[in-house]
């Protein structure tokens, strides 16, 4: 692709997926801009697990050491039933045998800081909402709340479940009678989460943070629709995530509350404080025999660093239309979407509508199986901590599973390990061969051809 044939990509949303796409396009030489409605980057969130499905990409980007330096190695997830003691820990160590990489726990805000540095500041436009997106003369235009309009060839919706790009795209499809009924239904969710991270703690008072291995402990509520996790970080903090498993009636009430507050998946300060008040007496397990509650962690956390979010549960049928394309909302899923899109955009022969449609169709075909598998795994995890008979059965199965079957299940979690085709490849390691990534192969072929041309000049 010549310089004049490279499309200008307009990315709406500077979350993990949007920033990953920006970082990759920066390496590929494809022009882009990112638009983020928030005026500042808030250090919100809990912890995230980084493993072999992403670590090779970080090696390609040259930030692997930076990520590992802010992370703690993870070997087990410990499960507890409130008032009933521990279950057999879930062992993730075989993953290193399968892939050559282990699992790490990284503070979400710290990870965000690293990936944000991969994008030049002038390419991110903070503090302006997207009011409209229009298309004219084979161009797409993003209209912002500051009266600016930005022109490009492709617009990417990386702005979450309540995406402005999705809304504009679906409006156009609905007007033409081409939007499937399934995409017109309300976005369902069955969980709300309270997430946050304490200030750095005294290791003598909280011995668990001295362990070089991350302590990941999950407590399942006894007779209450809650589960809660505490995770130690490399910054001597305790990250926490409290999940409220909702009934259908509660789900409807929560949706109504969300619309009264704002128009995305995060509530304001008052609902977060209300959930803190509701859960502060819940006991936590830190492995030192001391009696503590979630309230002890809340008291050690600046209030502005605690947020309440909801976890949506839907895979949309329509991912793209003309020059519009959407990315997923989950951390790993969104970043894998970014990798596939970056590979395909790099390999485009031109920026015509025909070529854009072709890569969008290839993107959907490649990513859908992985997205569906991730969706199903998430549903199983949710069932495991639900109250009632179904939750009890799933929990029993998952905590009594024989090691041979557990190892087999782990192999399925590491099959999607794509790489960037336009950067030097990282040699494959481990005993489990990853699925072939068509977008990676396509980009690799174009990259190698361009390298050959450069050598022959």
Q: Which one-letter DSSP state was computed for residue 213? A: B
Nearest to 218 by CA among 102, 76, 412: 76
| Mean pLDDT over each residue of the chain, to the nearest integer | 89
Residue ranges covered by each domain of the chain: 3-41+109-183+314-456
pLDDT band, very low/low/confident/very high, at 81 (cuts 50, 70, 90): confident
> In this predicted structure, what is the pLDDT of residue 434?
95
Residue 39, pLDDT > 50, answer yes
Q: Model confidence over 128-169: pLDDT tens digits?
A: 899 999 999 999 999 999 999 999 999 999 998 778 999 999
Q: What is the mean pLDDT of residues 229-251?
A: 88
What is 244-263 written as a DSSP string? EE--HHHHHHHHHHHHHH-S
What is the pLDDT, as a whole number, of residue 3? 55
Band (322; pLDDT cuts 50, 70, 90): very high
pLDDT at 49 over 80: yes
Tens-digit pLDDT profile for residues 375-423: 777 766 666 666 667 777 777 777 788 999 999 989 999 999 999 999 9
Query: What is the structure's pLDDT at 269?
Result: 64
What is the C-alpha separation between 276 and 294, in angstroms, rounded? 8
Please report which confidence band the pLDDT of residue 223 belongs to, taking 50, 70 and 90 as the band edges. confident
Distance in angstroms (rounded) separating the CA atoms of residues 34 and 21: 10
Among 49-53, 65-69, 260-264, the range scoring the smallest mean pLDDT is 260-264
Share of the chain above pLDDT 90, in %: 69
Most confident of 102-106, 247-251, 284-288, 309-313: 102-106
Query: In the predicted model, is pLDDT for residue 206 greater than 60?
Result: yes
pLDDT at 45: 83
The reported pTM is 0.92
The mean pLDDT value for 260-276 works out to 66
For residue 194, the surrounding DSSP H or E stretch is: strand 189-197
Q: Is residue 263 over pLDDT 50?
A: no
Cα–Cα–Cα angle for 280, 286, 291, rounded to 5 degrees: 55
Give the pLDDT confidence of 338-361 residue by residue, as tens digits.
999 999 999 999 999 999 999 999
Determine the average pLDDT of the residues in 216-244.
93
Which pLDDT score is estimated for 264? 47
Under a CB-based contact definition with an 8 Å cutoff, are residues 238 and 206 in contact? yes
- At 383 the pLDDT is 66
Quote the DSSP letter at residue 424: P
Q: Domain 3-41+109-183+314-456 has what CATH class?
A: alpha beta
- The answer, yes or no, to whether residue 189 has pLDDT greater than 90, is no
pLDDT at 248 over 90: no
| Predicted local distance difference test score (pLDDT) of residue 250 | 60
**What average pLDDT score do residues 43-49 get?**
84
């Amino acid at each position: 692709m010549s310089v004049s044939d490279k499309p200008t990509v307009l990315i709406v949303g500077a979350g993990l997926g949007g920033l990953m796409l920006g970082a990759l396009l920066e390496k590929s030489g494809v022009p882009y801009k990112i638009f983020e409605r928030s005026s500042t980057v808030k250090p919100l969130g809990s912890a995230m697990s980084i493993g072999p499905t992403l670590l090779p990409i970080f090696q390609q980007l040259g930030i692997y050491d930076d990520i590992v330096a802010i992370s703690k190695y993870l070997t087990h997830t410990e499960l507890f039933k409130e008032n009933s003691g521990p279950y057999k820990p879930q062992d993730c160590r075989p993953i290193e045998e399968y892939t050559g990489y282990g699992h790490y726990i990284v503070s979400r805000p710290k990870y965000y800081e690293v990936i944000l540095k991969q994008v030049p500041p002038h390419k991110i436009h903070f503090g302006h909402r997207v009011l409209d997106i229009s298309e004219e003369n084979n161009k797409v235009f993003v209209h912002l709340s500051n009266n600016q309009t930005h022109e490009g060839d492709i617009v990417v919706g990386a702005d979450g479940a309540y995406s402005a790009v999705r809304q504009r795209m679906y409006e156009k499809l609905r007007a033409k009678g081409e939007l499937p009924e399934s995409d017109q239904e309300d976005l369902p969710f069955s969980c709300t989460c309270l997430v946050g991270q304490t200030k750095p703690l005294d290791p003598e008072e909280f011995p668990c943070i001295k362990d070089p291995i991350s302590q990941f402990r999950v407590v399942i509520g006894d007779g209450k629709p809650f589960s809660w996790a505490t995770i130690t970080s490399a910054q001597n903090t305790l990250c926490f995530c409290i999940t409220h498993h909702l009934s259908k009636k509660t789900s409807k009430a929560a949706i109504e509350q969300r619309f009264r507050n704002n128009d995305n998946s995060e509530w304001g300060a008052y609902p977060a404080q209300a959930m803190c008040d509701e859960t502060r007496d819940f006991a936590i397990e830190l492995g030192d025999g001391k009696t503590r509650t979630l309230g002890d962690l809340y008291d050690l956390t600046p209030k502005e660093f605690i947020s309440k979010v909801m976890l949506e549960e839907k895979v949309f049928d329509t991912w793209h239309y003309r020059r519009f394309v959407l990315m997923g909302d989950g951390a790993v899923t969104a970043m894998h979407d970014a990798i596939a899109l970056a590979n395909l955009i790099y390999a485009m022969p031109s920026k015509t509508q025909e070529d854009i449609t072709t890569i969008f169709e290839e993107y959907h075909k490649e990513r859908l199986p992985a997205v569906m598998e991730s969706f199903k795994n998430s549903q199983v995890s949710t069932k495991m901590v639900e109250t009632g008979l179904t939750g009890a059965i799933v929990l029993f199965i998952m905590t009594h599973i024989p090691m041979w079957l557990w190892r087999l299940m782990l192999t399925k979690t590491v099959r999607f390990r794509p790489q960037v085709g336009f950067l030097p490849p990282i040699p494959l390691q481990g005993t489990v061969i990853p699925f072939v990534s068509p977008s990676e192969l396509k980009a690799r072929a174009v990259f190698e051809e361009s390298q050959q041309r450069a050598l022959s000049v």
